Structure 1
């Protein structure tokens, strides 16, 4: 043999001088030897020098190109061979099919299959094996199986090709069935068989079956095979058994890049991103050359950690490597920048990519959606279509949430139309995101029929619908759907339970809430922080603050949301002192208060009229720029109003950059509460003249209260009448009660009685209570008795009304009435 290129060229020259250069036998030998030494150009020169070429020479040159990854040249030569009339033989087709497999070109592969049938070599085992591999890699398992079933004779490679096909395409059960048939046929499985089966169980996450294969591998002494060892590490890692995977990895006598990739990817998939990066650095330290899979996994680890600096370092390494134009690596770079919040870097890199596939577009769209750039996500989706890249189901899963974020129902409906035309509607993931989009756009009338029509529903589908009902306040329907979910044997997850607990909280259904809590504990969900926080909120809203506190105290981890839930619970249940104590404790434990904290704490200050506390919190709000939020401004106005400092309340109101109807109501109510009727009416007039904010029922209740406290009877009538006339706001019970109070305070008791009698609905206790209070002020026993009789019928258990009537009798000296 020729040891190097120099000696080979000398031999070649000698053959040329000897007149043997046209000998096809020697030409084939030289083509193969030049190729073995990596000199494809010299091999091609030998091929081109031959004036006559037989099938062996064509086969040799085609195989060289196929083996060296130059599929384009291999196919050109194959077609030239056919055009020159040279009949292919069984050895021609495997390298050509290898090229089709590498290109994932089913069309080319089927064309080659037609030539095989014409040539009549389909019965040759290694040709059929190549066909099976090609069809399987092109995700055409039906054709692969047809070739396999039509084989008269099969070897272990035939069985492996079909088992590998099933395993790589996610059909693990079919792979296992075929494996059993293989054993029944008397074919002994080899390392390739075992590696493929381990891959299948890894995809399913079936650790038990994987362990059985591992036992078989040990019995057959295949456990020293590197490919099998790598598959074992990958299987245990993907099934979450990282300790076993790590032990196998550490004990490997020999490791290649695939071994390291399996372990690094396993860490990333199981959420151990830091460990993945440590192993990546160790791999570099041991001078193991990384592959594109290594780089993609390392970038995923940075994305999980949000480690932009480390991600940039890996990106710099990629730029200087042969992976700079690899689509998979490029897509991982985009994903890393997107998840680290550097969406501009992601877009810049995306635009520079020399080639993009649908996954690249999907990741960029997802990056925009995840970072709140919904308009850009939608624009990129349409750009993708314009540039001729066909969207897949994953595209729709990524772009629909962009509509959800901005409530773009019309855009969502347009995408829905595209989904129907593209045939994605039956995809469970697309259907789920579509339902979720309509739910978040508050279109449950569309979401529910879509949900009901879904042929397949997963737990996320149910969660989307249950959460939707809980969000709009239809707690009863949320609980009904939860019960239906269980009847259909769909196992709830922590996200389901959060929505169900929220529904119980909305209904103030303590009994149902306790049952749900028991279910949470029994199913091991009680370590979920979000769910624990929802339970705290539920108990607080159901008035059982002691249960809420017990849960809070037992939490192994408390985030700011848990603290906020507890503070809000105390505030809503009237425990103002405890609210402020918890707020102080929260800060002592270095937990930074949020906007939600402020909105809960300020009402506690208002309840206690704790002006000094309120001012301190106001200072904290200013330092943290919370004063820009409307909800905080509204709470400050309410707090200062209830502390009697209308000057400070008005100052906050004037400084608010944006005001909603609650802001106007708060300042009007404050002035009304302290008897500043003229100020309240002036503010209301200002509201109508200079803003587009429309008054609501609460606004008019505050205005009527202001008129009542200031004795503005005529103005009160005018505002009461204009509610329905000018603002399409029919007065409610509380407005009628306020008008009775206004008339009663002014001494117009007969007018108040006539007003009550003319009410369009049955007067409630608030109306008759206001009338009875007015009768007491003006010591009118006769009308007081009328009011009292109604109240005793409506609320016979309320002793307050009896006491009030007794006081009227006492003030009039009617001791017989007092005794009665």
Structure 2
């Protein structure tokens, strides 16, 4: 067998794929191994490695060799292989042409298509679902935010006796929690014979998700999680549970409790991650506590998370909100360039935060330097949020374009403002003032008429952010 050029060995192809191609050659071209079990093994490898073209070749050979595709669930494996490769059209075609569909075929289609329709077909065909079926279809309900359909699925779960399955009950709690129905989530939780850390975390998140922080806290701290019930079950709160609680406090703007929870977390020996820190840092900006922010910054450094782009963005935003512009700049400057190759690079949010910091601190030259180097240094094209920050920066220092005689910048900003159809006048006002300073009164009148046509009303002192 001649291996096609695209599959020939190179440093970019894993060894397991080459093992697969060797197996494929042996199975397909040996009279002894050209069997149903051989096809099944190859399809399983296609599914695992997500190899579409070999899957298509195997399918073609099964058809031309008149292989019984109902044997050993070959049809279901073929559906799964196509679905895992993202070829949903072929998966659906095989599904439609299969006469004896089993639960695995339905599970693949429900999971791949994220469609309730296949679950309805399953019910009509009297195929018996399994725990995975219910887990998948409940996740689909979450995606659709379809609480009523979720209740219908729960009714079927109870009718078929799956309510005692731990994984099914956990997904039910998660579905009700994300759909905002904490009453039903708690009912499922209370009826559970066995619970694991996922059960507790899902229930805590359900309360936090709708702002019921007291209930969430009671479940987490006062009555249950730290005390006998969870201990008897051999469970302790994990990182996800703590993060869910932190998120709940932050969403409810309960800053003091959120920061206190971090200390409890550390005392309990739980190591925070980037999600914990990025969730907490905005709190410091809200309460204008640069001291607390610096403590979290120090923690990020000790945990070696300071170079994470999301943590760095949150730190820059926190320092800018607290008025610590130099600290914001230092964070930005400390992001290691070597991490460009690791995917850790300042993103749009990082630069927006930094430009905002420069605006609040009146650092015109530094802000403009960052703005003009965005695309060249970081591969980020300026968006309207970045333009808004720069305009705000220039206006805060007193018609910055005029002071620095940056007519070119003012004209570019004015042009971009018109293209973006923004509804605030500061950029055009700056341009008008520059024209006036140079005695170009015709241009002043043109800009003023343009502002009038656009319905701009000057609002001194307002920010674009």
TM over 0.5: yes
- Give the match for residue 666 of structure 1: 202
Distance 1:536 1:780, change over 3 A: farther
CA distance in 2, matches of 1:682, 1:804: 41
1:487 shift after superposition: 7.9
User: 1:91-106 alignment to 2 at 5 Å?
Assistant: none
- Give the match for residue 687 of structure 1: 225
1:479 shift after superposition: 4.5
CA distance in 2, matches of 1:723, 1:484: 51
1:530 shift after superposition: 3.0
User: 1:568-583 alignment to 2 at 5 Å?
Assistant: 568-571=111-114, 579-583=115-119
Which has the greater radius of gyration? 1
- Give the match for residue 451 of structure 1: none
* Residue deviations 1:118-138 (CA, integer Å, cap 9, x gap): xxxxxxxxxxxxxxxxxxxxx
The reply on whether 1:656 has 2:197 as its aligned counterpart is: no
- Which residue of 722, 734, 758 corresponds with 2:275? 734
1:803 shift after superposition: 4.7
Alignment length (residue pairs): 334
CA distance in 1, matches of 2:81, 2:139: 20
CA distance in 1, matches of 2:168, 2:105: 20
Distance 1:724 1:597, change over 3 A: same
- Give the match for residue 54 of structure 2: 515
- Which residue of 219, 229, 247 corresponds with 1:705? 247
User: 1:100-499 alignment to 2 at 5 Å?
Assistant: 479=17, 481-483=19-21, 485=23, 491=33, 494-495=36-37, 498=40
- Which residue of 614, 624, 639 corresponds with 2:150? 614
Q: Is the 8 A contact 2:289 2:322 kept in 1?
A: no
- Which residue of 91, 98, 104 corresponds with 1:555? 98
- Give the match for residue 540 of structure 1: 83
- Give the match for residue 130 of structure 2: 594
Q: Is the 8 A contact 2:59 2:78 kept in 1?
A: no
The reply on whether 1:629 has 2:172 as its aligned counterpart is: no
1:521 shift after superposition: 3.3
- Which residue of 693, 696, 703 corresponds with 2:238? 696
1:582 shift after superposition: 2.0
1:545 shift after superposition: 3.0
Q: Is the 8 A contact 1:478 1:503 kept in 2?
A: no
Q: Is the 8 A contact 1:701 1:735 kept in 2?
A: yes
Distance 1:676 1:765, change over 3 A: farther
- Give the match for residue 346 of structure 1: none
Secondary structure of residue in 2 paired with 1:626: coil
CA distance in 2, matches of 1:659, 1:550: 41
Distance 1:736 1:541, change over 3 A: farther
* Residue deviations 1:472-526 (CA, integer Å, cap 9, x gap): xxxx67656545656888848655665665555555x4xx243244235325568
Structure ranking higher on relative contact order (CA contacts 8 Å, 6+ apart):
2
1:562 shift after superposition: 0.6
CA distance in 2, matches of 1:722, 1:793: 31
CA distance in 2, matches of 1:621, 1:639: 14
1:547 shift after superposition: 3.5
Q: Is the 8 A contact 1:677 1:709 kept in 2?
A: no
Report the TM-score when normalising by structure 1: 0.35
Mark the runs of 5 or more structure 1 residues left unpaired by the alignment. 1-475, 572-578
1:718 shift after superposition: 4.9
Distance 1:777 1:797, change over 3 A: same
1:567 shift after superposition: 0.4
- Give the match for residue 246 of structure 1: none
1:811 shift after superposition: 6.8
CA distance in 2, matches of 1:811, 1:805: 10
User: 1:82-97 alignment to 2 at 5 Å?
Assistant: none
* Residue deviations 1:5-36 (CA, integer Å, cap 9, x gap): xxxxxxxxxxxxxxxxxxxxxxxxxxxxxxxx
1:563 shift after superposition: 1.0
Report the TM-score when normalising by structure 2: 0.59
- Which residue of 281, 300, 311 corresponds with 1:767? 311
1:544 shift after superposition: 3.8
Mark the runs of 5 or more structure 2 residues left unpaired by the alignment. 1-13, 336-343, 349-377, 402-408, 417-465
Distance 1:673 1:500, change over 3 A: farther
RMSD (Å), alpha carbons: 4.1
CA distance in 1, matches of 2:390, 2:68: 59
- Give the match for residue 395 of structure 1: none
Distance 1:658 1:741, change over 3 A: farther
1:555 shift after superposition: 2.7
CA distance in 2, matches of 1:623, 1:588: 16
- Give the match for residue 109 of structure 2: 566
